[in-house]
Amino acid sequence: MPDTEEIDGDVLVSPRYLAGSTAVGDPALEPLLALGFDLRNDDLGNAYVTAPDHRIRLGFLPEGDDDGLWRINAYRDRFGPPAWGVSFNDNCPTEFVTAFTTALAQAYTAGPDTYLAPPDLKDPELGAFDAVVPLIKNGWQFQHPRWGVMELKPPDGMATLEYTTGRLDPEKELTTLQARWHLWGGPKSGHARWYATATTHTPTALVKAITQSVADPTPLPRWKDGMLPWLRESAQLTPITPPAPRVPTPLDVQRAAARRPPALGTRSVPRWSTTTVATAPAAARSSPQQPTPLNRPLLPRTSEGNP
């Protein structure tokens, strides 16, 4: 966990699949931009990121036609249809997207044989199992079997992963929720639901990066007032406590003493009193000084018997 001063939030949210989006896309774009991916924006505020070889394209679409905020496609032929596609909607925790783009950046560095590697088509279900292992290790359980669907849920039932078997329509996989992988979470009301999808040929290692982030028990920081009310009511929120003041070391005390200004010299300062002092009459203050034994002028001495 980073230092409290670096945490962007005032609460920690658990489980993390109830944290909601941060509405900030920069962390998810950084892994790809660091590799020299080209970034362009349109007049609406949408961002488009393209790999140097044009075989990976990412769209961050806050002003898109639907709630698909993130769309990432990979191409064997840069002018052909996508080999695979992944999407995240606008309520999806940004950390899940960042986990995916980080894994994608690593795969892109390794080359096309890695980021375009299809799952094991001889036994796709066995290959897919590797991506659900992180969920199983963190308490997710298989649900009642449905024909053609492998389904897992956490104990609270507020998230779901579905893996669909059999043949699927490639076009629908890219444009609808009818994809090979469908992962979602949020309260049952549906008002704060997030989802992520991945098509048939998405490399299993990239799907696993998403499931690992979803299953991670580490809570996510959020600003409480910025969360949707349905999430605040459903998630466990732990206030982030500011760090205690640091205890000064002997060296700190010594430095502070060296910087201390010298003490001022002692001087007499009249004390404030509530006693009322009688003021002399004005005439007395202005009358000439009366002679006293000390200031009376001396008369010349005369001979005895003279007046």
Between CA 27 and CA 209, with CA 229 as vertex, the angle to 5 degrees is: 35
Q: Does 270 score more than 80 pLDDT?
A: no
Residue 258: predicted pLDDT: 75
Nearest to 28 by CA among 84, 78, 103: 103
Q: What is the mean pLDDT of residues 207-225?
A: 97
What percent of the chain is modeled with pLDDT above 90? 66
Residue 307: predicted pLDDT: 43
Helix (H, G, I), strand (E, B) or coil at 302: coil
CA torsion, ordered 265, 266, 268, 271, to nearest 10 deg? 110
pLDDT band for position 191 (50/70/90)? confident
> 163 has which bridge partners?
150, 181
* 45, two tokens: 């505020």
Question: What angle, rounded to 10 degrees, do the helices at 204-215 and 94-110 form?
Answer: 150
Residue 243: predicted pLDDT: 63
Q: Does 285 score more than 70 pLDDT?
A: no
Residue 197: predicted pLDDT: 98
Q: Residues 221-256: pLDDT tens digits?
A: 999 999 999 999 999 999 998 766 777 787 777 777
Higher pLDDT, 282 or 126: 126
User: What CA–CA distances, in Å, run from 28 to 47, 59, 103, 155?
Assistant: 12, 11, 11, 29
Mean pLDDT over the full length of the chain: 85
Helix (H, G, I), strand (E, B) or coil at 183: strand
Q: Residues 68-122: pLDDT tens digits?
A: 999 999 999 999 999 999 999 999 999 999 999 999 999 999 999 999 998 776 7
Residue 7: predicted pLDDT: 74
Q: Among 41-55, 178-192, 229-243, 290-304, name the one with the lowest average pLDDT.
A: 290-304
User: What CA–CA distances, in Å, run from 253 to 125, 157, 249, 250, 286?
Assistant: 66, 55, 6, 5, 60
d(CA 105, CA 60) in angstroms, rounded, equals: 16
User: What CA–CA distances, in Å, run from 204 to 114, 128, 180, 181, 240?
Assistant: 10, 7, 11, 10, 36
Give the ranges where the chain is alpha helix by DSSP (H).
26-33, 94-110, 112-115, 124-137, 170-175, 204-215, 229-234, 250-259, 282-286
Higher pLDDT, 210 or 252: 210
Q: Does 265 score more than 80 pLDDT?
A: no
Residue 252: predicted pLDDT: 72
Higher pLDDT, 291 or 48: 48
